[in-house]
Each structure stands twice: as structure tokens, then as C-alpha cells.
A = this chain, B = another copy of it.
Amino acid sequence: MIDYRSDNTGRAAPEILEALVRANHDTALGYGADEWTAALQRRFSELFETAVRVFPVATGTAANALSLAALGPSWGIVYCSEAAHINTAEANAAGFFGGGIKLAPVGGEDGRISADRLAEALAGIAPGQLHRGQPSAVSVTQASDLGTVYSLAEVHAIAEVAKARGLRVHMDGARFANALARLGCTPAEASWRAGIDIMSFGATKNGGALCDAIVVFAPELADGLAVQLRRAGQVWSKMRFASAQLIAYVENGLWLEMARASNSVATRIAVGLTALPSARLLAPVEANEIFLELPSAVMDGLEADGFQFYRRSATLARFVCRFDATETEADALLTSLRQHLPPAAAARAAE
């Protein structure tokens, strides 16, 4: 079996678990008042070239929902892509933690929202009108939920529209490392320098084990968030075991190395697909996910050949490359696709 189901079906990087085990000595104050968590603050502040506050949390859902809850009042409207994980896959955690905030989908291409469409949406709600709530924040998913990556200019443009209206900007960085690996820029450029106020910093999908983090760039948000996290049951009493994982995750560029590895395999598959004219990508492959329109019979064939992946619909398959995916596996997938896909001429004729 070759598993392309998700990047969260995979193992953790051994370096991360080793760091967790290494932290198991002596006693340390609970709830983050330990030396590992202090080191985490320093390490991420260096990484992001500014003083940040880092809060380890158990899951990306917690990171997203608690970040959004921190960005505005409970009657706020948070704009995001229709395809955003916060909108489709987190059981309305944002609405819950935010005390009733409402997610409002904004259009755009390939899983991204566009600054223009955001501006239109905001123009539709006059300041002071009461009936629909008031805009409070924007959330961008980087890399996006369709496997594309916002350019820095796109993030800048969205943030500019948002801030002109007094809105805060959140980045769902569940696959931030994959985006960074694609963009080739610094973490600072991809986040606060582009206008991000708070980020869900993913690790789990990219070789992590049991924690992600919230990284706060707007310092006035941090103290309140700290209490909110405590109340949300997201502050481990033995926090050192989480902080140690996150330090190991970024140490010596491990995170980017893993992201480059998974991106690279995804790209190899995408390049291979160009030789298969009947294969249609839903969106460009810019990170580690591939959304491929496939006849149902082709999906059956792939499964019969031992490939695991998600059927997003009767004609849409998602393949995700993990940090430990291999080129051999990629080539095997392409071979199988080649066998099952109809020739291009037949595909055209079928339309």
C-alpha cells in the first residue's frame, strides 16, 4: 500500500520525538513556566526576526479557532475562502470559540481569496449597520486548501484591504512550511511583514507529532489569548514536552527540509502528469497536495494497484505527499495513472 491520504497519516520526524524524550529530566514549573517554553519564545523570535509570543496547542483546529476568537468581537464576521479548513472541516470551531462569529466565504482563484473580492464583500456591509454583524478579520490559508500558495504580493494586498477597514489578519499556516519552501522567502516576509497579525503555525502535517502553535505578531493580543488558552484546555501542565517538539521542529532547518521533500515529490507527480494529457489538475500544484479530476473507474484502478487517497467527490481525488514520501512512490503512482487513464484522444471524445 502506498499512502497518499493525508499528511497527518504519517510518522513524526524522529528528531522531534527524540527531543521530547530528551526533555524528560528533572522537575520544571508547569503551564509553560519552564525553560523549554522560554527557549521556544527566543527561538521563534529569532526565526521571525521580531519579538513574538508562541503558544503551543494540541491541534490546528485549536490554533485557528482561538486565533480567530482573539481577533475580534463575538459578533464579528471573519472572511475566508469557501474551501478554507476553518469553513469546511473544523465543525465550526471558530463559531464556537468565537462566541458566535460567522465565517463569510470570499471568492478567488484556486483556493485563494482575492483582495478585490474581499474589498467587494466589505463594501457590502456599511460600518454601523447591525443586521449582519460587523467585519472583524480575514483568514488566509497558506498553503491554501487546494494546494496552491499565495504570493507575497497577494497576501500584502489582502492585508491592505483588511487594514483599511480596521480588520485583523490571520494566517492558517497548517502547511506554512510548504508555502515557505515554495516561496523561498523568510518566515518574516511571509508573515508579519506581509501584514499577518496572528498565525496558526502548523507542525503536525509536516512531520510533527502532538502539537502545533499559535504565533502572535500583534503583541496586544497575547495576554488575553494566554488566559483564553488556559480556559480552552490548551495549556499543558507539562508544557516542556510540547515546547521541546516545536524547538526540534525548526532546529537546523528541519521543518523546511521536510517541506521541501514533500513539495518535491508532489512536483515530480505534477510534472509527470503533464505527459498525461487526459489528467486534469483542479489547481496548480504549488505545495504538497494534488487535486486531480479522475473518472471513478480510474480511482478504482489506482486503489486496486494499492494506492490510498481521498475521494473528494465522484470525480475528484486528492493525493497528499508526506515529508517521507519517496520518488519511487511518485513514479509508481504515475505508472499506475498512465495505465488507467484513457488516452487523450478518448478523453477529448468523451467530452
Residues of A within 8 A of B (CB): 3, 5-6, 8-12, 14, 17, 20-21, 24-31, 57-63, 65-66, 73-75, 88-93, 95-97, 99-102, 128, 130-134, 204-205, 208-211, 223-224, 226-238, 241-242, 308, 322
In the assembled complex, 24 residue pairs joining A and B whose CB atoms fall closer than 8 Å, in A order, are A3-B27, A8-B237, A8-B238, A27-B308, A58-B236, A59-B237, A62-B232, A65-B233, A75-B92, A88-B131, A90-B231, A91-B130, A91-B133, A91-B227, A91-B231, A92-B102, A92-B133, A93-B100, A99-B99, A100-B100, A128-B223, A205-B237, A209-B238, A210-B238
Whether B231 contacts A75 by the Cβ 8 Å rule is yes
Whether B12 contacts A241 by the Cβ 8 Å rule is yes
Of A17, A230, A322, the most chain B CB neighbours within 10 A belong to A230
Of A25, A95, A134, the most chain B CB neighbours within 10 A belong to A95
CA distance A234 to B58 in the complex (A): 7
CA distance A165 to B206 in the complex (A): 38
Residues of B within 8 A of A231 (CB): 61, 75, 90-93, 96, 100, 133
| Nearest-Cβ distance from residue A13 to partner chain B, whole angstroms | 9
Whether A234 contacts B236 by the Cβ 8 Å rule is no
Contacts A12-B238, A99-B74, A238-B209 known; A93 to B27 CB distance under 8 Å?
Answer: no
Residues of B within 8 A of A228 (CB): 73-75
Chain A contact residues, majority secondary structure: loop
Choice from B65, B223, B241 contacting A210 with Cβ under 8 Å: B241
CB nearest to A3 among chain B residues? B27
Whether A204 contacts B237 by the Cβ 8 Å rule is yes
Contacts A96-B75, A96-B99 known; A30 to B8 CB distance under 8 Å?
Answer: yes
Contacts A73-B224, A210-B210 known; A235 to B95 CB distance under 8 Å?
Answer: no
CB nearest to A13 among chain B residues? B24
Residues of B within 8 A of A9 (CB): 27-30
Whether A133 contacts B227 by the Cβ 8 Å rule is yes
Contacts A28-B9, A237-B59 known; A102 to B95 CB distance under 8 Å?
Answer: yes
Contacts A95-B95, A209-B238, A210-B241 known; A233 to B132 CB distance under 8 Å?
Answer: no
Contacts A96-B74, A224-B73, A242-B210 known; A130 to B235 CB distance under 8 Å?
Answer: yes
Known: A61-B230, A61-B233, A210-B210; 19 extra A-B contacts, CB below 8 A, are A5-B29, A12-B241, A14-B24, A17-B20, A17-B24, A20-B20, A20-B209, A24-B209, A58-B233, A62-B232, A75-B227, A90-B131, A92-B231, A93-B231, A96-B100, A96-B232, A133-B231, A208-B238, A210-B236
